[in-house]
Copies of this chain bind each other. A is one copy, B any other.
Amino acid sequence: MIAIPLQAQFNVPLPLASGAVLDAYELAYETYGTLNAAKSNAVLICHALNASHHVAGIYAGQSDSEGWWDSMIGPGKSVDTNQFFVIGVNNLGSCFGSTGPLSMNPATHLPYGADFPLVTVEDWVDSQAQLLDFLGIETVAAVMGGSLGGMQALCWSYRYPQRIRHAIVIAAAPNLSAQNIAFNEVARQAIMTDPDFHDGHFAQHHTLPKNGLAVARMIGHITYISDDQMESKFGRELRDGKKFSFAPEFQIESYLRYQGEKFSQYYDANTYLRVTKALDYFDPAAQYDGDLAVALSPASAKFLVISFTTDWRFSPTRSREMVKALLDEKKAVTYTEIDAPHGHDAFLLNHPQYHAVVRTYFTHQVQP
């Protein structure tokens, strides 16, 4: 399946949760499959921290350019693009084509950098609703996402209840725990204290806060993998014996340094700060005295909620909180805990039971 990146331009001002207003913005998106005549078969995929609108397929002539959820989405796959019109969208504030800190600030004709406003999950959902309008779609069959993407699917369910028939919320949480926020804050501190960060205006200083970004990514990466998985993949294996130096000696050190280095070469530091902050802020129950059931009560969608046993970032306990709140409000919920060893990252992987659950749900519940 060949993917084609597209851009949608919006000139209607978008008011943000922070009070700021974006007068104009673009969203990068891709679509797979065909919108049916009734316009009833659209599935919106929301992405997590560092992913993008490139959800499935490959770019022409680039055989190794699979979308980040290509194992899940495509012709004949669990989310079958022969049946559904799947939309991938890059979030506002990201660095892969949608308007964000790397974009030109029309007021200064310089990159926004640190001047790009903070955005929230609600802002993303509002801009995604604009994209649906742009595509002429009133109601989607489903909004689906993992991790932060799952939070967006949840947000869709109560913010635009009439526009979504199913919310598929995978490896997510109804808000971040103190420990989740703590990890995000350490990552932000690593970036913000990098002298090459220049208060977010590093583009104007012709620098990149690569060291900070690499450390931030390393911290994040530890939380994406289960303790057991890290142990079985790397254990205490040394690359080449004890060297009594601070060069990477254990395999896990090399792996993490490589991940950090790679990430620092393609990801924008200002985006990282904003995405982690959107995670920290997400808390639908907050304005209802912590009552998640009340927060979710406007939803009319049906729900598929999936968690993974070894996910210690957003553990099954957090998914059960959502399921409990939905059941309290008598919503239709399917819930599965998948026994997977991989930790949080499991939502990205091709786990047979997990994919079978999604396939079954799309076949029997969602329908085009």
Which residues of A does B touch, CB under 8 Å?
Answer: 17-20, 117-118, 175-179, 181-183, 185-186, 188-190, 192-195, 211-212, 214-215, 218-219, 222, 227, 230-231, 233-236, 242, 244-246, 248-250, 252-253, 256-257, 260, 273, 277, 280-281, 283, 286
A277: chain B residues within 8 A (beta carbon): 246
Is the Cβ of B244 less than 8 Å from the Cβ of A18? yes
A177: chain B residues within 8 A (beta carbon): 227, 230-231, 236
Is the Cβ of A215 less than 8 Å from the Cβ of B186? yes
Among residues of B, the one whose C-beta sits closest to the C-beta of A255 is: B182
A256 CA to B218 CA, complexed, in Å = 18
Among residues of B, the one whose C-beta sits closest to the C-beta of A211 is: B193
Beyond the given A178-B233, A181-B253, A193-B215, please list 11 additional residue pairs across the A-B interface where CB-CB is below 8 A: A18-B244, A175-B236, A182-B218, A185-B248, A185-B250, A185-B252, A186-B219, A186-B256, A188-B246, A193-B194, A246-B277
What are 13 A-B pairs with beta-carbon distances under 8 A? Answer: A178-B231, A178-B233, A178-B234, A178-B236, A181-B236, A182-B218, A182-B230, A185-B218, A185-B257, A186-B219, A189-B260, A190-B215, A250-B280
Is the Cβ of A118 less than 8 Å from the Cβ of B283? no
A17: chain B residues within 8 A (beta carbon): 244
A257: chain B residues within 8 A (beta carbon): 185, 189
A307 CB to nearest B CB, Å: 16
Closest 4 CB pairs of A and B: A193-B211, A18-B244, A178-B230, A178-B234
A235 CA to B283 CA, complexed, in Å = 12
A228 CB to nearest B CB, Å: 9
Is the Cβ of A222 less than 8 Å from the Cβ of B252? no
A249: chain B residues within 8 A (beta carbon): 280
Interface of chain A: mostly helix, strand, loop or mixed: helix
A214: chain B residues within 8 A (beta carbon): 189, 193
Is the Cβ of B181 less than 8 Å from the Cβ of A244? no
A290 CB to nearest B CB, Å: 9
Among residues of B, the one whose C-beta sits closest to the C-beta of A290 is: B236
A149 CA to B188 CA, complexed, in Å = 32
A250: chain B residues within 8 A (beta carbon): 178, 181, 185, 280
Q: Which of A175, A188, A227, A248 has the most CB of B within 10 A?
A: A227
A190 CB to nearest B CB, Å: 5
Among residues of B, the one whose C-beta sits closest to the C-beta of A184 is: B253
Is the Cβ of A183 less than 8 Å from the Cβ of B222? yes
A260 CB to nearest B CB, Å: 7
A248: chain B residues within 8 A (beta carbon): 185
A13 CB to nearest B CB, Å: 18
Is the Cβ of A189 less than 8 Å from the Cβ of B175? no
A348 CA to B248 CA, complexed, in Å = 32
A273: chain B residues within 8 A (beta carbon): 246
A62 CA to B26 CA, complexed, in Å = 62
Q: Which of A248, A252, A260 has the most CB of B within 10 A?
A: A252
Known: A18-B244, A236-B175. A253 touches B185 (CB 8 A): yes
A230: chain B residues within 8 A (beta carbon): 177-179, 182
A212 CA to B177 CA, complexed, in Å = 25
A222 CA to B115 CA, complexed, in Å = 31
Among residues of B, the one whose C-beta sits closest to the C-beta of A210 is: B193
